[in-house]
Amino acid sequence: MRRWRIVLIGAVALVLLAGAFGYGFWRKLFGPGPGPRAERVLLIPTGSDVDQVLDSLVATGLVTDRATFRWLASRKRYAGRVKPGRYVVAGGTSLNALIDRLRSGEQDPVRVTFTNIRTLPQLAGQLARSIETDSTTLLQAMTAPATIEGLGLRAETMIGLFLPNTYEVWWTETPAAFIRRMKREHDRFWSGSRMAKARALGLTPMEVSTLASIVQAETARLDEAPMIAGVYLNRLRIGMPLQADPTLKFALGLDSVNRVLDIDKRVDSPYNTYAHQGLPPGPINMPEPGFIDAVLNPARHDHLYFCARETLDGYSNFARTYEQHLVNARRYQRALNARGIYR
C-alpha cells in the first residue's frame, strides 16, 4: 500500500510539474510580451531574413527569448514570409501576435513633411530621413529624363510637381511609387476651380507655380503675397520685364544676399528677368500652396513696383510710378546702410 502511495504522489507531482511547465510555455507564446510598456518602432529593411529580424527584435527589447521565438517562427513558417516595413508594436504584445503581425506585412505609415524647399537635392535629402530609400537613389529617380518626360515636364519644371505638405507614406515606398503619389496629389490640387482661375489669368498650372515661387522668395508674409502677385501680373499684362531680384539670386546661386547690385543684372541666364521678358523657365523653389493660391487670387490694383519697407519688418511699400519707387528704394537702402548691410 505504501509503495502505491509513493507512486501516486510521484505521478501527481509529474502532472503538476508538466502543467506548470506547459502553462509557463503557453504564457511565453500567448501572454504579455517581455518588452517595454511603451510602444516600439521596428524597422525591417528590404531583403532581411528571419535572423536579422530577430536581432532587431532583441535590440528593441520586444523579444528576450531567442529559442522560443525561433520555435514559434518555425511553426508559423515565418522564415519564408519576412516582409519589410515599419511596424509600431504596442507594449506587451504577445510573441504569437507579434509574429502574426510581421507575417501579415501590416506595416504602419510614416508621416513626411516638406516645406521651404529650394531644390530637388534638398527634397531628396529631407525625404531620405523618413523612408528607407537613400537620398542619392531618390534624386536619381526625380531627375531621370525618362521620368520627367513621362510626366510631361522639363528638368526646369520638375520641382513644381511636388506640393509642400504632410503626407502619409510607407517606409518602404519606392522612388517611383512616391513620384506617382505626388503626381496624383498635384492633379488633385489643380482640379476644378484652381485650373479655371489659371486659365482666366492666361497661365498654365506650371506657370502659376513659377510665379508663385518668385512671390514666395520675395516675402515670408503670406498676407502680402496677393499684393506682390498683383504687381507681377500687372507687369506681365503690359509686357514689362518682371525684374525680380530672386530670379537673379537663383541664376547666381546666391542664397543670403540682401542687395542685388547692378553688376548682378548682367548675368547671362534665362532666369535673369531683368534681361528677359516673361516668366523664367521654371520655379526657383518649391512654392507652397498658399503662395500658389495668392497668384490665383491676386489683389487687384495698378501698382507696378514694390520695395521692402525701411522698417525691415518683412512688408513692402508699393508704387504706381517709377519715381515713387525710387523714393521707396532709397529709404530701404538707407536702412540697410544704417545696419551695415552692404551685400
How many Å apart are CA 164 and CA 216, to the nearest integer? 13
The model carries a pTM of 0.85
For residue 9, is it within any domain? no
How many Å apart are CA 89 and CA 39, to the nearest integer? 5
> What is the count of structural domains for the chain?
3
Do residue 163 and residue 214 come from a single domain?
no
- The grid cell for 236 is 506681365
Range of the domain at 97: 20-104
3-state secondary structure of 289: helix
Do residue 128 and residue 163 come from a single domain?
yes
262-305 pLDDT, tens digit each: 888 888 999 999 999 999 999 999 999 999 999 999 999 999 99
How many Å apart are CA 139 and CA 37, to the nearest integer? 39
Do residue 153 and residue 273 come from a single domain?
no
Do residue 87 and residue 127 come from a single domain?
no
Point out the residues of the chain with pLDDT beneath 70: 1-37, 256-259, 342-343
pLDDT of residue 142: 97
From residue 73, alpha-carbon distances to 31, 105, 111, 332 in Å are: 16, 15, 31, 71
Beta strands in 151-225 (DSSP E): 165-169
3-state secondary structure of 114: strand
| Whether 219 contacts 316, CB under 8 Å | yes
